[in-house]
Structure 1
C-alpha cells in the first residue's frame, strides 16, 4: 500500500529535524526520512556544541533570521528537561581593523544587540585563558550562547513524534517526480510515498540529482575540527569561565571554538573556519586528518591558549557545503513545484536551524516561501 503524507521531510540533520519539529505543531500526517541514523556519524558536522551569536560579522542581512532563530532556540530549550542552551557568552577577537571586530560591532549596533568592545588588556583581564597580542580588540556579546547540538536535534525529533510525526531511518530517497497524486518519492528499498509537498535538507546530498537547481552552485569541502584538554597544572576553569569564541589571527586565519558544556565531550572544540579546507572526496574524507594540519593548529593553540595542551586528543572531519558567495541557498525547486529546499549553509548554518526549519515548515504548509528568505534564493546566481 502506498502511503500519502501532507509533507515529507527528506534529510534529518539539524535543519530537517527543525523543519519536522515546526511542522508537527501545525500540520498532521508528516513524515521524516533519513538515510542514516538519528545521530549520523557521516553527517555534515560533529561535536556536542555549536555557537549562537547575533553580533554577526558576516553581515546585518542575517539579523532578522538570527532574531527568529534565537527566539526559537529558547522556545525549544524551555520544552526540554535537559539543558539545550548554555549561557556562555561569545568573544570575538581580532586585529583592530579586522572584519571579525569591525563588522561584529557594526551588526551589533544595527541590531541593537548588547555588546562590549574590549582592548587587548581588557580581554586578558576578563578572559585569562586567551593570550591576546598587542593591538588586538575583542567584541563580547553577553547574549551569545552555546547549543547542545545532538541533544537539541534529538529533542526536536522526540517532540515531532509526540505530536504525531512519523520517522523512517536507513532509507534514502532516490527520486522525486510530480504525478497526478502530487509528488511521488521512490526510496532505496523500492517503497513509493506520495506527498503534497516536500522539504529537502540533505546537506551534502543536495549535490545529487534529486533536483537540478543546485548544479554548479555548490561545492562540498572537507574541514577538520579538533578537541583540546586543559593542561593538568593550569589554574583556569575552562568548564565554567570560557566563552564561545572567534579569533582572527593577524594573517587572516579564523579560529572558532566552544567550551565543554556536558560530560559527553571533554575539553574545548576548536577549528579553522576559513582554512584547512579541501574539496570533498569520499575516500579522502574517511582518512585521518593530515599530520601537517594537526601541527598547524597545535602551533596556533600554543600561541593563543597556553593553558591548553596543544596536541588535540581527538579530531574529525566536517563537511562545509559551500555556495559561491558563502551564504545559504533556500528556494523552491524550479522543475518540482512544492519541493522546498535548504542547502549550502556554507559552514555557518547550524545557529539558524530553528529559524530555517520554521520558514521551511511554513512554506510546506502554505505552498509559498516567506519573503524574508528571498535574499537566499538560488536565482541570485542566474
Structure 2
C-alpha cells in the first residue's frame, strides 16, 4: 500500500478547536497595535536568498543551517522567509515609503520557516507577529515597543509569567572593539570551549555569549563586559530607555550576555522570557538595527522592531489557563426546525435576527433530523440557548426558547420580539 499522506515534520495543522484561541490572541494584538498607531504590511513568504544573506549575515546559524532554500525554474535562488525584518526592509525600500525621513510604524503577521529540530513550542513552520519602526532614533520609540508589549501581557493575563531582559550592543564601532577583546580573552581558553563555541569564535564571536554549555558559561564569568566598551552615544541611549521604563514602572534585568542571533542589531536589544515553557523560554524579542537599511542599499535610516512567536504565546495561554470563556463557546444560539415549512421560516427568521444582532453567533440546524437528534447537535455545539420551530410555533408565529446551560424553563417568544429577547439573554449569559 502507498504511504499515507501527512504533514511535513515540524509543519503542523492548526485544527478548528485550536483556532479560536489563535484568533483571540491575534485579534487582541491587532486591536492594541491599532490603538498605538501601527499600520499593517503584508510581504511575500518567498524572497531572493541574497536578501537574507545580506541582512541576517552569512555566518549566522539561520543562514548556514536553517533556511529553506531552492532554485526556481528560472534558476533564481529563493528562500522561504526565516524572519520578517529583512523582508519588511526590502518592502519599504522598494516602495520608497521611508524616503525623506518619513516615519513608518508597521506590523505584520504570518508564517516563517526554519529547518530546526522540532520540539514543543518550536516548529519548522512557525508564526510571528512583528513590528518595525523606521526613521525614529531615540530611546522613546524603543521604550514604546516594550511598553505596548507590557500592556499586551496584561490584557492576556500573563504579565506575572514573563520577565524583561535588556542589553545594549552599542554601535558597530564599539561592538567591533568589544569583539576584539572578547576574541583575545576566549583564545586563551580555546581548549576549554565546547566545539560549537570554538566554531563561533572564528565566525560570530558574540554568539558565544549565549551558549547553553555550562563549562563555557563558567569561563565567560571573567570575560570582558560589553558595557565597558559602549560609546557615549549608546550609553546615553540605554540610560534614556531605562529611565522611561522606570517611569512607567516596568521591571527589567540587565543581561550582559544578551546579543540576539542576527548580525544587524545595534544599541538596544531585549527579550521577554518565561520559565513556563521549559527550554523554549523566549516569547518576544527584538532591538535596534540602525545600519540595516543602508546595508541593504538604502540611505542611512534608523530602525527598531521585535517579533513574538504565536505558537509559544498560545501555548502560554493554555498552560496558564488564560482562555476567555466566550472564545471556548463558538455558538450562542442554535435554531432547530422541524418540517420543510418550519425550515423555510426558520431560515428567514434567523436572517432577520442577524440583521438586528450582527455579533450574535447563531447556528441554524442543517440536515433536518428528529427532535432528539437536533437537540443533541444543539447541545454539542455549546450554545447557551436553543430555538425551536415546529408546526405549533408556526401557527402562533412564536419560537420556543430553551436554555441549554443552567436554570430556566422553556418559553415562547413572538418572532418580532426575538432579537430583543436574545440581546438581553446573551448579555446576561
Higher helix share: 2
TM bracket, shorter-chain basis: under 0.3
Higher strand share: 1
TM-score by length of 1: 0.26
Q: Which has the higher contact order (CA 8 A, sep 6+)?
A: 1
TM-score by length of 2: 0.24
